[in-house]
């Protein structure tokens, strides 16, 4: 800890951008990680300087681990990533890595596996970010025979979110992230049980979620926590990526998206995912009235004449493929239905419009709404105008995935 603090205090390179090659011939390109941005994220999560670099390295290694199969090239890339992070802050290889806490979780997969279900817990938790999301367009095409709806949507992950702490344990245990919710009903715990069942193992994990995303707010906090749990267990249990993806799909479309959060087109039930280039940077003001709406309730209130078919969102997906985002094409077919359930939604949207949002839109199934702004200053002015109304507000921005930072 002291060495990391000293490295920050005396190393002006701590605000530089660290770039290293992926080393995987199947996935060329650079992975650029901004240390300043990661430090800011980690502070928002309440982490110490020690945890900040744990967050950085964990994020880098989880990204690289998802690039493909267990190839030698990928393993070499992961080792280079760790070495360069350590070198960047002036720490030697070897013992210094022990100061990084969750940062060395990738290298401890073998040790964790050897400990087994009855082994001692890991000394430090593995901390995995769980970002919130909004939908840059959500259009309903019709009702399916299975009772769900076909949709066309663009998922966009945000910098704001939860953090999931995981450590080896004798069983799947912990405290639910939501007061009064049984662990059996918590998506993070359900994710762990689903993966363990697929693996046929008796491994355990202790789960603790630092909860910031409101519940039943249209921001997919539970699904993101579930995906973060699965990504962490890919490390702690050495779970194959295919089993992790299958477990995520069993928990819903949102959980599958959060395995590779960024920008993606979702079709059919929303679970037919097509990654898109990162959306142009926008600042996002989230505003939520004091209410909750489940997705089930919003879709039940939706009327057939409110379906729009998906053309606008498909057009925006095409625009994103050329580096553009067209605010005029953003629409959410659930907005009218959600406003009937929670009339305050109309007031929130009006306030965002008046504050200069371009556009103001319902987030998912609501009741959270969001406004997009081209600059942080404009978004902060809007937040200052809206906050006296007593609504919950958070200022954030689009998540820039590791390969776009």
The average pLDDT across 390-400 equals: 95
Question: Taking the chain, what is the end-to-end CA distance rounded to the nearest angstrom?
Answer: 26
Among 222, 255, 274, the domain boundary falls at 274
Look at residue 21 and tell me if it is in a domain. yes
Residues 235 and 345 in one domain: no
Q: Which of 184, 195, 270 is nearest to 233 (CA)?
A: 195
Residue 112 lies in a domain: no
Which of 116-130, 222-236, 253-267 is least confident? 116-130
Q: What is the pLDDT of residue 134?
A: 98
Q: Residue 161 and residue 183: Cα distance in Å, rounded? A: 20
Which tokens hold the place of 69?
Answer: 């199969």
Q: Is residue 134 domain-shared with residue 265, that is, in the same domain?
A: yes
Closest to 18 in 3D by CA, of 41, 44, 38:
38
Residue 368's contacts (CB-CB under 8 Å, 6 or more residues apart) are 214, 217, 218, 219, 286, 287, 288, 362
Interatomic CA distance for residues 136 and 282, integer angstroms: 12
Q: Is 121 part of any domain? A: no
pLDDT recorded at residue 194: 97
pLDDT exceeds cutoff 60 at 35 = no
- Quickly state the pLDDT bin for 80 (edges 50, 70, 90): low
* Residue at which a domain ends, from 245, 274, 303: 274
Q: Could you tell me which of 129, 402, 132, 144 has the C-alpha nearest to residue 272? A: 144
**pLDDT single digits (tens) 191-221:** 999 999 999 999 999 999 999 999 999 999 9
Q: Are 395 and 283 within 8 A, CB to CB? A: yes
- Asked if residue 287 and residue 159 are part of one domain, the reply reads no
Place 400 in a pLDDT band, splitting at 50, 70 and 90: confident
Q: What is the pTM of this model?
A: 0.70
Residues 23 and 132 in one domain: no
Same domain, 285 and 261: no
Q: Is 93 in the same domain as 155?
A: no
Residues 270 and 281 in one domain: no
Which CATH number does the domain housing residue 360 bear?
3.30.70.890
Do residues 138 and 94 share a domain?
no
Q: What contacts 97, CB < 8 A, 6 or more positions away?
A: 82, 86, 91, 103, 104, 107
Q: Do you know the residue count of the chain?
A: 405
**pLDDT per residue over 255-296, tens digit each?**
999 999 999 999 998 889 999 999 999 999 999 999 999 999
Residue 297 and residue 221 share a domain: no
Residue 210, domain CATH: 3.30.230.10
pLDDT of residue 118: 37
Q: Mean pLDDT, the chain, as a whole number?
A: 77
Residue 106 lies in a domain: no
Is the pLDDT reported for residue 98 higher than 50? no
Q: Give the end of a domain, one of 83, 101, 119.
A: 101
Query: Residue 306 CB: number of other CB atoms within 10 A?
Result: 14
- Contact residues for 145 (Cβ-Cβ < 8 A; gap 6+): none
Q: Do 384 and 320 belong to one domain?
A: yes
> What is the Cα–Cα distance from 29 to 32, expressed in whole angstroms?
10
Decide if pLDDT at 138 tops 90: yes
Q: Which residues pair with 275 in a beta bridge?
A: 264
Whether 211 is catalytic is no
Least confident of 24-38, 111-125, 241-255, 310-324: 24-38
Considering the domain boundaries, does residue 116 fall inside one?
no
Q: Which of 162, 225, 254, 333 is catalytic?
A: 254
- Domain identity same for 233 and 166: yes
* Active-site residue, 254 included: yes
Residue 117 falls inside a structural domain: no
Q: How many CA within 13 A on the CB side of residue 117?
A: 10
Annotated active-site residue in 24, 99, 104, 133: 133
Domain range enclosing 166: 127-274
Q: Are residues 70 and 149 in the same domain?
A: no
pLDDT band at 104 (very low <50, low <70, confident <90, very high): very low
Q: Which residues have a Cβ under 8 Å from the Cβ of 395 and sit 6 or more positions away?
A: 283, 284, 285, 286, 376, 379, 380, 383
- Residues with Cβ within 8 Å of residue 393, at least 6 apart in sequence: 285, 286, 287, 288, 383, 386, 387
Q: Is residue 111 one of the residues assigned to a domain?
A: no
The number of folded domains in the chain is 3
């Amino acid at each position: 800890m002291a060495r990391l603090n000293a490295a920050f205090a005396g190393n002006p390179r701590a605000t530089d951008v660290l770039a290293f090659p992926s080393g995987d011939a199947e996935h060329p390109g650079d992975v650029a990680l901004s240390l300043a941005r990661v430090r800011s994220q980690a502070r928002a999560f309440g982490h110490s300087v020690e945890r900040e670099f744990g967050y950085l390295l964990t994020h880098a290694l989880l990204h690289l681990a998802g690039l493909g199969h267990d190839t030698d090239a990928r393993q070499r890339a992961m080792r280079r990533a760790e070495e360069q992070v350590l070198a960047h802050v002036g720490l030697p290889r070897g013992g210094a890595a022990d100061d990084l806490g969750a940062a060395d979780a990738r290298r401890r997969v073998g040790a964790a596996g050897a400990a087994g279900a009855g082994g001692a817990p890991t000394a430090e938790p593995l901390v995995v970010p769980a970002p919130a999301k909004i939908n840059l367009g959500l259009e309903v095409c019709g009702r399916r025979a299975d009772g769900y709806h076909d949709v066309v949507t663009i998922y966009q992950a945000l910098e704001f979110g939860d953090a999931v702490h995981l450590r080896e344990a004798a069983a799947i245990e912990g405290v639910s992230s939501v007061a009064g919710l049984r662990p059996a009903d918590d998506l993070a715990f359900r994710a762990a049980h689903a993966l363990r069942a697929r693996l046929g193992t008796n491994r355990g994990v202790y789960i603790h979620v630092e909860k910031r995303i409101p519940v039943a707010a249209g921001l997919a906090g539970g699904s993101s926590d579930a995906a973060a749990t699965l990504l962490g267990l890919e490390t702690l249990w050495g779970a194959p990526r295919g089993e992790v993806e299958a477990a995520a799909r069993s928990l819903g479309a949102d959980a599958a998206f959060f395995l590779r959060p960024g920008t993606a087109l979702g079709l059919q039930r929303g679970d037919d995912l097509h990654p898109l280039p990162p959306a142009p940077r926008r600042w996002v003001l989230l505003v939520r009235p004091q209410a909750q709406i489940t997705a089930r309730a919003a879709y039940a209130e939706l009327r057939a004449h409110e379906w729009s078919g998906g053309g606008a969102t498909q057009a925006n997906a095409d625009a994103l493929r050329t580096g553009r985002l067209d605010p005029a094409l953003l629409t959410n077919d659930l907005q009218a239905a959600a406003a009937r359930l929670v009339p305050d939604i109309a007031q929130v949207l009006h306030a965002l419009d008046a504050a200069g949002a371009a556009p103001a839109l319902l987030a998912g199934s609501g009741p959270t709404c969001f406004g997009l702004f081209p600059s942080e200053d404009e978004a902060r002015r809007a937040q200052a105008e809206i906050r006296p109304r007593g609504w919950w507000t958070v200022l954030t921005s689009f998540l820039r995935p590791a390969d776009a930072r």
